[in-house]
């Protein structure tokens, strides 16, 4: 049974990996956490993103994501919520650019649970992620799939999300990167603030 559906699942997960490996707000969030709280908190952020991916995949499988995408006011609400969240991240980044704190090497890593919530909120308030999962589910063709295949699709999507974003977390919290960050932290945080602001504007004004 699984063998029959495996090509569909691999194709759907391939669509997901395109989104996971493409730099975007999620990767920028991981960068922020990795450079201010360290690798542990960054990986917890990835776990939050992965939990959000599981929820979105489940919503897509149930067909609710497609319904949401067709309701203009509902998608607008999601976009505005996402834009507000991105603007909050921009404000935090600009604050760090003006008043840099300690580096993770000499600072504790508090509020790891908060890091997971940040990742989950980022994923759930991103309409692009919703559209990615609609596409992945359509590619998988799970309308007639038995529940073990659907369960494998959901768990695989969560694992892929954590693995892909985890690779970003490890790279962005590595010693060479943190050393480079230490020498240009104001510029990096300022650039992150500008990116989050631009992303919020694009999200709020997009037609998708």
The 3-class SS string of 64-120 reads HHHHHHHCHHHHHHHHHHHHHHHHHHHHHHHHHHHCCCCCCCCCCCCCHHHHHHHHH
Residue 90 within a domain: yes
Residue 104 within a domain: no
Residue 23 predicted with pLDDT over 80: no
Residue 14 within a domain: no
Residue 154 within a domain: yes
pTM for the structure as a whole: 0.75
Residue 149 within a domain: yes
The pLDDT, as a whole number, for residue 180 is 80
Q: Report the chain's C-alpha Rg in angstroms.
A: 18
Residue 61 within a domain: yes
Give the total number of structural domains in the chain. 1
Residue 3 within a domain: no
What domain range includes position 89? Answer: 25-96+110-205
Q: Three-class SS of residue 174?
A: coil
Q: pLDDT-based confidence at 166, cuts 50/70/90?
A: very high
Residue 152 within a domain: yes
Q: What is the mean pLDDT of the chain?
A: 79
């Amino acid at each position: 049974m699984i063998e029959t559906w495996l090509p569909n699942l691999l194709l759907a997960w391939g669509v997901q990996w395109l989104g996971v490996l493409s730099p975007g707000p999620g990767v920028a969030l991981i960068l922020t956490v990795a450079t201010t709280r360290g690798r542990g908190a960054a990986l917890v952020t990835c776990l939050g993103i992965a939990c959000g991916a599981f929820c979105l995949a489940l919503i897509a499988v149930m067909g609710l994501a497609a319904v949401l995408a067709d309701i203009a006011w509902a998608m607008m609400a999601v976009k505005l919520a996402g834009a507000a969240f991105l603007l909050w991240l921009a404000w935090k980044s600009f604050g760090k650019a003006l008043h840099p704190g300690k580096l993770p090497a000499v600072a504790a890593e508090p509020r790891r649970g908060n890091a997971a919530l940040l990742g989950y909120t980022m994923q759930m308030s991103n309409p692009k992620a919703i559209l990615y999962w609609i596409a992945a589910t359509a590619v998988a063709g799970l309308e007639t799939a038995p529940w073990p295949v659907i369960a494998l699709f959901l768990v695989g999507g969560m694992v892929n999300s954590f693995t892909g974003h985890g690779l970003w977390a490890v790279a962005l919290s590595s010693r060479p990167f943190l050393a480079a960050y230490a020498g240009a932290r104001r510029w990096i945080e300022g650039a992150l603030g500008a990116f989050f602001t631009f992303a919020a504007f694009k999200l709020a004004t997009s037609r998708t």
